[in-house]
Copies of this chain bind each other. A is one copy, B any other.
Amino acid sequence: MSAPTVSRVLNGRGDVAPATRERIESLIRAHGYRRRGGRSRERIGLLDLVFNDLDSPWAVEILRGVEDAAHTVGTGIVVSAIHRRAGSTRRWLENVRSRSSDGAILVTTDLDPALKAELRELHVPAVVVDPVGIPDLDTPTIGATNWAGGLSAIGHLTALGHRRIAFVAGRPELWCSRARLDGYRAGLETAGLAVDDDLVVPGEFDYESGFRAGEHLMGLADPPTAVFAASDQMALGVYEALRRGGLRVPADVSVIGFDDLPEAHWASPPLTTVRQPLADMGRLAVRTVHRIVRGEAIESPRVELATELVVRDSTAPPPGEG
């Protein structure tokens, strides 16, 4: 077998004995993919970015950060949504296997343990970007400071003079919901206020549950003068409940959200909210995967980036004050 023969096979030409072609092609099939990813441990060709659903409001913010950091070093980002379905996860893993992915960033609220085991078996290092706080330390995880975010929201409202402040909670099974609630309580205690359980209302992070919570709160005998919702989408649902009840934001009721999605800026009035640095979390995830691939140590299995209060036009002193 000569080099020109190999060349003829690779070029797909017909003047090669079938057995020779078969032998060379099976060799290349057996080794070609592995070589691509393994060519150099410094070079990362493709990273996988996996969402449960692309209609998550965070999705595009995290994607922006991941794309930005990957683009700078010439890495391609393969985006998938696995829809919490076993069939979809299976198909994605087959795709990852055939491509020999260099690493995976998982953005997910309910991470399938089997998925992580399979990635380990495929030698694909994984990092979790986690805006909702799953305490799972065997995979490096990047989150945000949920408790401190709750505290800063309540500090802003009590400084404006509010005393009756409601909280619309997130999905109760998620740790971030608990951390934001505890930040709310700590904020009230810091201001010398008691927690009134009537003002803590369940929610599911989505617009509809925020709307229902807003209607419930405004129907109370002693309604709140301010509402802190554990997500921007719920805060927008509260807006709509207030509007239908003939109440104005912030003249009658102040509202604060959590996340700082683009919608917060476009709301009418623009929404005061606690910013999660979602794009920065995506950027850090890329750098963390790169460090693992290069065999470098990472600082901590869980990193939380700081949240930040963004004051816009939905908060003001309570009616009759200010």
Q: Which residues of A contact B (CB under 8 A)?
A: 1-3, 6-7, 10-12, 23-24, 27-28, 30-36, 38, 45-46, 48-49, 54-55, 57, 59-60, 63-64, 67-68, 71, 74-81, 88, 91-92, 94-95, 98-99, 207, 233, 236-237, 239-240, 243, 262-263, 265-270
Asked if residues B46 and A32 are in contact (CB atoms below 8 Å), the reply is: no
State the majority secondary structure of interface residues on A: helix
Give Cα A92–Cα B77 distance, bound, in whole angstroms. 11
Shortest C-beta distance, A273 to chain B (Å), equals 14
Provide the bound-state CA to CA distance between A209 and B233, in Å. Answer: 24
Nearest 8 interchain pairs by C-beta: A10-B31, A60-B60, A239-B268, A240-B268, A76-B78, A54-B64, A236-B266, A79-B79
Report whether A80 and B60 are in contact in the complex, using a CB–CB cutoff of 8 Å.
no
Beyond the given pairs A54-B63, A67-B80, 12 more chain A to chain B contacts, judged by CB atoms under 8 angstroms and listed by A's residue number, are A3-B27, A10-B30, A12-B35, A12-B38, A33-B36, A55-B64, A71-B92, A74-B94, A76-B80, A79-B79, A237-B266, A263-B266
How many whole Å from A212's CB to the nearest CB in chain B? 15
Q: Is the CB of A78 within 8 A of B81?
A: no
Smallest Cβ-Cβ distance to A96: which chain B residue: B76
Asked whether, in the complex, the Cβ of A268 is within 8 Å of the Cβ of B268, the reply is: yes
> Contact at B74–A265, with CB atoms within 8 Å?
no
Considering the complex, give the chain B residue whose CB is closest to the CB of A72.
B91
Q: What B residues does A266 contact at CB under 8 A?
A: 207, 233, 236-237, 263
Nearest B residue to A83 via CB reads: B71
Contact of A74 among B54, B75, B91, B237 (CB under 8 A): B91
Which residues of B have CB within 8 Å of A95? 45, 74-76
Q: Which residues of B contact A31 (CB under 8 A)?
A: 7, 10-11
A10 vs B30: C-alpha distance in the bound complex, in angstroms? 9
